[in-house]
A and B are shown apart, each in its own frame.
Chain A
Amino acid sequence: MIKSAKTKMGDWVFVFICILVALICVIPMLNLLARSLSSADHLIRHDVYLLPKGLNFDAYKKVLGDPKYLRSFAWTAFLTLAGTLISLTMTTLCAYPLIFEGLKGKGFINILITITMFFNAGTIPNYLLMKQLGLLNNPLVLLIPSCLSVYNMIIMRSFFYGIPDSLRESAEIDGASFFQILVKIYLPLSKPVFATLALFYAVGRWNGYSDALMYITEAKYYPLQLLLYNILNNINSVEIAAQEGFTQPGLSDSLKAATVMFSTIPILMIYPWLQKYFIAGVTLGAVKE
């Protein structure tokens, strides 16, 4: 099709808008990176924009030499890994049986699950439950109470529905049990949905801080985001500042930037590779049965 000059012109307008939008997304990150790599003098003079001035890696060296930060980083990485594994298992356990038409009580279980999407007991009842279960200040509280998301379960179930019934039926004729069908047919075909949900759960755990804020008071169990929150709000500043220079003007700026940068890098490195999966996942979640 031959395009008119007007149409071509229009194409460029849209390209221009998109470049602008992309810049708005990227500039804060560039500024963060620049600050983390700049010298204290420049930061005090407020003349660091998108490129580092007085390039140095001192802030990163400080962050990497800070046992408290490293500990929290490793702890959060562990929580993320463990949490994602638990969540994927639970999600599969919940989604798979519910695709069988013949399952008695399926309607009831669906209602039981759906209600929880719309009505939550509330912050305080949940808090009192954790207290009753002895989960306050217990690291398990960061793994178990949020281990199953109904939204993600629906995504996985939609994906399972998309696997042809004929595959399952032929296996059933061959005498395969439901366990065998899950392990031999469904799991091997479900890599895309596992990739998507692993990303969703991992991001949720890596970025989450409200559960730790409410249920954990012992600093050694703080996940990274809560530690960051405290640093940014100068909570515990006395303790941190004493050793690490968090109140020294300029240095404090680059230290904060390096800390934030370091906490963001893992996710920024992973998500672009999973783009095609999570797009499919979000789309699946939006489709109603």
Chain B
Amino acid sequence: MSKVKVPKKKTNWGAYLRRYWQLYFLLLLPIVYFLVFKYKPMEFIMIAFKEYKIGKSVWEMPWAANNGMKYFIKAFKNKDFIRSIRNTVTLNLFDLVVGFPAPIIFALILNELVLKRFKKVVQTIAYMPHFLSWVIIYSLALQIFAPTNGLINVLITNLGGEAIPFLNESKHWVATYIGLGVWQNFGWGSIVYLAAIAGINPELYEAASVDGAGRFKKMWHITLPGIKSTIVVLLIMNLGGIMGGGFDRPFAMRNTLVLDVAEVLPTFVYINGIKGLQFSLTTAVGLFQSVVGVFFLLSANWISRKLGERGIW
């Protein structure tokens, strides 16, 4: 596409609209959708600074004490909240350290497979966990890891060992949580890297072979540099998400024995907000999470630009 700068002509609005009104008409529903479901709720963010009153509009509710900061102060005095921040960051960091490299390694392995058919079968199987819901993954985890009737523990106890509390002791739970995350995502996550690898000029490999480079030399000097920018972009997105994270996974996997490591911000908000009806407090918590999340994302993007990589925008 050539982008030649045309000197600005005066728009003939009549002609323009006669032709373009159809596009605006098509955009009507999506724009209404964004305004109603994405922007309208932002109005309710205000209740983080107000005393929530049923039946009153947000604008009528009285401001909270301490210049409206009452609920932020309350949140930071709340041990459960502090614990939720810690757990959110910790679990996300573990996900990053263990879960981020897994798809890259898997893509590199797949790339070494010679038989295309076999490669395709392995891919299909590896994508499967991505299509399972977290409720189902947790039920599979129960079957495999449960203390008395889980597959692994049955094998261990049959061999005379002691059952491992994969799901009901904090440290083991964290390991299981991270492990299941890897299990679910390593295959799916590899798709992007495989596409990037496919885009590498094959002549580079041939030249390297002529020079006598072995398998791992080629991986290190050609494949990895070839997908470096993909890795960096995805790493930024992951770093930016260090305060974020979904609801489905931690909520499906949490149980009362491991709450000290399993309660994260989204589950904290659900339990205390929608279940506990502390709307102002949990809105404050949600706002805190969003703002810190945006801050992380912007910082990660800025750093990546400074390093000479493309940012995510």
Interface on A for B, CB 8 Å cutoff?
Answer: 1, 7, 10-11, 14-15, 17-19, 21-22, 24-29, 31-32, 35, 43, 46-47, 49, 90, 93-94, 96-98, 100, 102-104, 109, 112-114, 116, 118-129, 133, 144-145, 147-148, 165, 177-179, 182, 203, 206-210, 213-214, 225-226, 228-229, 232, 253, 256-257, 260, 263-264, 267-268, 271-272, 275, 278-279, 282-283, 286, 288
Contact = CB atoms under 8 A, between A and B. Distances in A.
10 contacts: A11-B113, A24-B183, A28-B140, A28-B143, A46-B154, A116-B39, A121-B41, A121-B290, A126-B37, A128-B279
Contacts of B143: 28, 31-32, 35, 257
A49 B151 CA distance: 7
Given A119-B294, A122-B283, A256-B139, A271 B128 contact: yes
B142 interface: yes
Nearest to B28: A93
B183 A25 contact: yes
B30 A177 contact: no
Contacts of A123: 247, 266, 269-270, 273-274, 282, 286
Interface residues of B, number: 96
A31 B128 contact: no
B297 to A, nearest CB: 6
Interface stretch (B16-24, B91-99, B168-176): B16-24
Contacts of B113: 11, 14-15, 18
Given A121-B45, A207-B132, A257-B143, A25 B187 contact: yes
Interface centre among B38, B183, B274 (most CB of A within 10 A): B38
A46 B135 contact: no
Interface string B106-147: 100110111100111111111111011111101111111000
Contacts of B133: 206-209, 225
Contacts of B42: 121, 125
B26 A121 contact: no
Interface string B43-75: 111010000000000000000000000000000
A248 B106 CA distance: 42
Given A100-B23, A123-B266, A275-B123, A286 B192 contact: yes
Contact of B22 (A104, A177, A213): A177
Interface centre among B20, B119, B120 (most CB of A within 10 A): B20
4 nearest A-B pairs in the assembled complex, by CB-CB distance: A122-B286, A207-B133, A125-B44, A94-B30
A134 to B, nearest CB: 13
Contact of B23 (A11, A103, A144, A260): A103
A22 B149 contact: no
State the majority secondary structure of interface residues on B. Answer: helix
B27 interface: yes
B33 A148 contact: yes
Nearest to B234: A286
Contacts of A94: 27, 30
Nearest to A286: B192
Given A10-B215, A97-B27, A119 B122 contact: no
Contacts of A260: 136, 139-140
A29 B139 CA distance: 11
Interface in B184-234: 186-188, 191-192, 194-195, 209, 215, 230, 233
